[in-house]
Chains A and B, each alone.
Chain A
Amino acid sequence: MCVPDLERKSLEYRKKILKYIKHASAGHTGGSLSCIDILNVLYNQILHVSPQNFSDNNRDRYIQSKGHSVEALYVVLADQGFFPESELETLCQYQSHFIGHPTRKVPGVEQNTGALGHGLALSVGTALAGKMDEADFKVFTLLGDGELAEGSNWEALLAASHYNLDNLVVILDYNKLQITGRNKDVMNVEPLLDKFKAFGLAVREMDGNDIASIKATLEDVPFESGKPNLVIAHTTKGKGVSFMEDSVKWHHGVPDDAQYQQAQEELDKKISALEKLESK
């Protein structure tokens, strides 16, 4: 898929994320809008994963450690054909298997995640299994930045490096915000680049809301033979909706009717602008 097509998909995904969060009156809006471009490129460009090969042992694995941004994942999985999108109308409702954090009850979901600090160790184990089997698959995991305060991540990085897991790709959704406020005020995680390098990882930085930047970076994996890959994706929480961008209150805010309409209109305008650009 070419970059403009992916860009358009991102905007459509954003519209759907808002639609289902609005419908459910619940959800993690800011984080889902922050990471959706990464998921878009992963599922449409990078991952060898589809409903057809989901029982294939050699499929790529995507494990979303920051499970609270589940709406982004569900919307992308629906688009990939894992289940009809209309099922998302039951999101977070009683008796729905579309639970508020990723669950394997939903087709396409690899791991139950959501309690922070667990996804990376799981991913290390899965990458280790791939090495044992001399399999080609890669393991991708998405971390949140607030989540980095969980010490379990650093234990997992030690092991990833110790076992030379160059089939592991860790992507940090670095929007610099978490539920209470800015990372630097809650618990400073910087200097990240130096920390990751010191842990023996091959580190790249990218604009995590820029399709071309994401695509170029992820297509370059493995960055260095024998080293786990770590991508610092600089993102904006709430990306794509003016009043949600870089605002802590949209961590799990649900738009009211007026806000919802404004958000959808803003995204529609961006789609129109893209179309105009393409027709030129």
Chain B
Amino acid sequence: MEKTLDLKYTYTEKKDTRSGFGDGFLEVGRKNPNVVGLCADLIGSLKMGAFQNEFPERFFQTGIAEANMMGIAAGLSINGKIPYTGTFANFSTGRVYDQIRQSIAYSDKNVKICASHAGLTLGEDGATHQILEDLGMMKMLPHMTVINPCDYNQTKAATIAIADYEGPVYLRFGRPSWPIFTPADQKFEIGKAWKMIDGKDVTIFATGHLVWEAVVAEAMLREEGIHAEVINIHTIKPLDEEAILESVAKTGCCVSAEEHQMNGGLGDSIAQTLIRNHPAPMEMVAVNDSFGESGVPTDLLQKYGLNAENIVKSVKKAIARK
């Protein structure tokens, strides 16, 4: 269906965002000798092998001991070192929440928590590994910056950019092959929302893989005469409240879209911002208080309503409530 649509952004190649992390990690390692890697036995899955091969003296395997990895990373962050930890998103958050809270966030340590295989698009492994609560857990922590890029290029840019920011960061990415629709040479600015498509009738705020679905939804809506603004919220925290309010002041309603629980996700943060400043009709495209299951990513996204079709439906609901 995408093929017949007049898309504002297109792609010629698909790649996983974790590869964007792996390639960005190697590049930032070359640029910055303070960057150090740690991994809890998932070097292949996290695409950290190239960095490890090139900089073995700056890379530490911790074994399957994620809590220990977080504590070690916090302790390692002395004398200018910038540890990047790598494991799946569920083992990067829920499993190690107290370590992150005490030793990284509360202590304001310059640790970059790099979390792959987030959300439903992990696919076949099912609910145990498909974390849908990580953004919420991480955004609640004082001092923590939370980033969820949308494609290979943006993930690579974010991986490089976070080394120049002093403080704890949660960087979330995923496993599936996904359209590369943002430019390779983009400048990644933490906390700065990116208006990708200008519109007047509704704003779609999307993060992660769902930004692509928002781009598709915009084209579908345009065929029906609805002009949606699409804003890429790659940084969940700090949230670009100014960009959100400016857009909703213009369009009068919005939809959030994310591969996460509705509770505690991006939609929650946007709703809080709107309620405090500029209440407006809002719909949320997110997982509604449920665990995931096995399947190929597209089937799972379809079942849980995390796709362009459901964004279109939600947009119509939001507009009707204006």
Contacts and interface: CB of A to CB of B under 8 A. Distances in A.
B193 interface: no
B97 to A, nearest CB: 11
Contact of B103 (A57, A122, A128, A155): A122
A133 B71 contact: no
B68 A152 contact: yes
Given A112-B107, A159-B68, A126 B63 contact: no
Interface in A153-186: 155-156, 158-159, 162-163
A10 interface: no
Contacts of B71: 118, 120-122, 124-125, 152, 156
A121 B68 contact: yes
Contact of B75 (A57, A124, A152): A124
A115 B106 CA distance: 11
Contact of A163 (B60, B65, B79): B60
B65 A118 contact: no
Interface string B69-86: 011111111110101000
Given A112-B106, A118-B102, A121-B99, A129 B75 contact: yes
29 contacts: A63-B75, A112-B102, A114-B102, A115-B98, A118-B71, A118-B98, A118-B102, A118-B103, A121-B67, A121-B71, A122-B75, A124-B75, A125-B72, A125-B73, A125-B74, A125-B76, A125-B83, A126-B78, A128-B60, A128-B72, A128-B75, A128-B76, A129-B76, A129-B77, A129-B81, A133-B79, A158-B68, A159-B62, A163-B60
Contact of B78 (A114, A129, A163): A129
B195 interface: no
A125 B74 CA distance: 7
B109 to A, nearest CB: 9
B224 interface: no
Interface in A176-204: none
A123 interface: yes
A163 B76 CA distance: 13
Q: Chain B interface mostly helix, strand, loop or mixed?
A: helix
Nearest to B98: A115
A152 B72 CA distance: 11
B74 A122 contact: yes
A132 B65 contact: no
A156 B68 contact: yes
Interface of A: 57, 61, 63, 104, 111-115, 118, 120-129, 132-133, 152, 155-156, 158-159, 162-163
B164 interface: no
A118 B105 CA distance: 13
B58 interface: yes
Closest 4 A/B residue pairs (Cβ): A125-B75, A121-B71, A125-B72, A155-B68
Contacts of B75: 63, 111, 121-129
B57 interface: yes
A126 to B, nearest CB: 4
A155 B57 CA distance: 22
A25 B154 CA distance: 54
B65 A158 contact: yes
A146 to B, nearest CB: 17
Given A122-B72, A125-B76, 16 more contacts: A57-B78, A63-B75, A111-B103, A112-B106, A118-B98, A125-B73, A125-B83, A128-B75, A129-B75, A132-B57, A132-B81, A152-B99, A156-B72, A158-B63, A159-B65, A162-B63
Nearest to A133: B79
B65 to A, nearest CB: 4
A129 B76 CA distance: 5
Contacts of B70: 121
B76 A111 contact: no
Contacts of B72: 121-122, 124-125, 128, 156, 159
A57 B65 CA distance: 28
Given A115-B98, A122-B103, A155 B67 contact: yes
Nearest to B101: A115
A272 to B, nearest CB: 43
Contacts of A122: 71-72, 74-75, 103
A73 to B, nearest CB: 16
A61 B81 CA distance: 16
Nearest to B68: A155
A159 B60 CA distance: 10
Nearest to A122: B75
Interface string B5-36: 00000000000000000000000000000001
